[in-house]
Amino acid sequence: MSSFWKQLAPSLMILLCGFVCAQAQDEKPSLILKGDRPLVVDEVTESSDGYWYKRGNVTTFIDRERVVRVEYPKPPAAAEAPEPLEGKGKWQLADAQKVQDFFIAKFKKPLPLTAFGQSDLHTRWGLDHRNGMDVGLHPDSVEGRALIEFLRNESIPFLAFRGPVPGVATGPHIHIGNRSPRVSGR
């Protein structure tokens, strides 16, 4: 090997490693913190008081006031998919236990339900949500992608929202069940 290549080889390795590391970071969620740079994490879960995030094998809690937003990577298929994502199939609210059992088996915690059947918000918006349930997961999160894959494999209808839609969704979540029809007179 010539001396030119011997000198260039370490630089090429550093450049290649830097590219691979940067690419891996792009595939992970980031917590955007107030007055600080983004915090790239392996996983993030929202709770009522803040966020639990995991880096390596360490799980840490951060107060809601410190977080501006959470940014999730968009999987390649998500960039092409229309908003919202939709799955088709047969569903009745009595089938909810099947979804809850999957989630507990996969993630060792309960499904983060935000609405089970009709809620006051759905009533105010004139939506018949009696046969639907909402799960407080971002569809691009690790848990959200796993849930959507399960719903598709089981032919369970769903709608996945990446953000708010006026009069339809207050924020990111996965609606399980058929579309909620508008109640007449609204």
Stretch 162-170: mean pLDDT, rounded? 83
Pick the more confident residue, 145 or 27: 145
Structure-token pair, residue 106: 């996969």
**Residue 79 has which token pair?**
């960039």
- On the question of pLDDT at 30 being above 60, the answer is yes
Band of pLDDT at residue 82, cut at 50, 70 and 90: very low
> To which residue do tokens 């769903």 refer?
158
Residue 91: band (very low, low, confident or very high) from pLDDT cuts 50, 70, 90? confident
Find where tokens 């006026």 sit: 166
Q: What is the pLDDT of residue 42?
A: 87
β-sheet bridge partners, residue 174: 135, 160
How many residues in the chain? 186
Domains and CATH numbers, the chain: 3-71 (2.30.30), 76-176 (no CATH)
d(CA 173, CA 113): 10
How large is the average pLDDT for residues 32-41?
Answer: 85
**Share above pLDDT 70 across residues of the chain, in percent, rounded to a whole number:** 76
The answer, yes or no, to whether residue 25 has pLDDT greater than 50, is no
Mean pLDDT score, 125-130: 87
Q: What is the mean pLDDT of the chain?
A: 79
* CA 66 – CA 34 distance, rounded (Å): 6
In Å, what is the CA distance from 171 to each residue of 19, 57, 78, 104, 123? 33, 29, 17, 24, 17
Using the predicted structure, report yes or no on whether residue 186 has a pLDDT greater than 50: no
Q: CA-to-CA distance for 171 and 165, rounded, in angstroms?
A: 7
* pTM (predicted TM-score): 0.56
Residue appearing with tokens 């918000």: 121
Compute CA distances 115 → 45, 109, 111, whole Å: 18, 17, 11
Residue pair 117/101 in contact by the 8 Å Cβ criterion = no
**Residues 127, 184 contacting (CB under 8 angstroms):** no
Per-residue pLDDT tens over the stretch 40-62? 888 888 777 888 888 888 888 98
